[in-house]
Amino acid sequence: MKILMVLTSHDKLGDTGKKTGFWLEEFAAPYYVFQDAGAEIVLASPKGGQPPVDPTSDQPDAQTDATRRFKADDAAQAALADTVTLKSVDADGFDAIFYPGGHGPLWDLAGDADSKRLIEVFAGSDRPVGAVCHAPAVLRDTVASNGKPLVSGRKVTGFTNTEEEAAGLTDVVPFLVEDMLKANGGDYSKGDDWAEYVLVDGKLVTGQNPASSSEAARAVLKLLK
């Protein structure tokens, strides 16, 4: 079992002068769900190398069992520091693709041609595609074999407008994940803000927020069994 995890390379939070990137829990929790299941994990990002961690996700109050495990795991840290470039990745040989969130993907992965290519290959060959929190943004430009948006008519979730409002970034982000999924014809639904909520539609797995990270990864694994 071989799983591709794709992280953002984008570190600027709009014009705020603040940093962003991927959300640590949304990487660490799925990483260990996959690793503990015996999966081989390959990490990729648009620019390769070390992807930027959203500093807010590394604050003391954001730590979880998974993030603490990651901080004590030299091998995982070395793997993260050496992601391969997205354009170098061939979908052949991988069983699933998974995207951790954070605000970064809204700026780079949402419009990345290599990301789009990979998602469409995985979806077209009936292999699981997973994305959590802001990462369903990567589905924005993807299309299904029928030419319609990949999420059209599919049950999907992602970071809610009210969660974005609570984060104070509604006017900073280039687009709202909830609005985009609805505009693309997705059958969008959500749970309570900040509570675990994961949807599976065929081989498409989406999670609403950081609390949904582990369950989204477990849903991908279930599809591989």
- DSSP per position, 41-80: EEEEESS-BPPPBPGGGGSGGG--HHHHHHHT-HHHHHHH
User: What pLDDT score does 200 carry?
Assistant: 98
Q: What's the whole-number average pLDDT of the chain?
A: 97
- Taking only the tens place, the pLDDT of each residue in 132-146 is 999 999 999 999 999
Residue 154's φ and ψ, nearest 5 degrees, are: -100, 145
Arch. (CATH architecture) of 2-224: 3-Layer(aba) Sandwich (3.40)
Mean pLDDT of the 4-8 span: 98
What's the Cα-to-Cα distance from 54 to each of 18, 67, 108, 124, rounded to whole Å?
10, 13, 14, 32
HSE, CB side, 13 Å, CA atoms: give it for residue 73.
16
Would you say 182 and 23 are in contact if contact means Cβ atoms under 8 Å apart?
A: no
Percentage of the chain with pLDDT > 70? 100
- For 97, left (φ over 0), alpha (ψ -120 to 50), or beta? beta
Mean pLDDT of the 22-31 span: 98
Residue 127's pLDDT band (cuts 50, 70, 90)? very high
User: What pLDDT score does 203 carry?
Assistant: 98
- The pTM is what? 0.97
> CA quadruple 215, 69, 118, 50: dihedral positive or negative?
positive
- Taking only the tens place, the pLDDT of each residue in 63-78 is 999 999 999 999 999 9
> CA quadruple 168, 58, 132, 147: dihedral positive or negative?
positive
Angle formed by the axes of helices 213-224 and 24-36, nearest 10°:
30
What's the Cα-to-Cα distance from 192 to each of 26, 69, 176, 196, 205, rounded to whole Å?
18, 28, 17, 8, 18
- Taking only the tens place, the pLDDT of each residue in 166-223 is 999 999 999 999 999 999 999 999 999 999 999 999 999 999 999 999 999 999 999 9
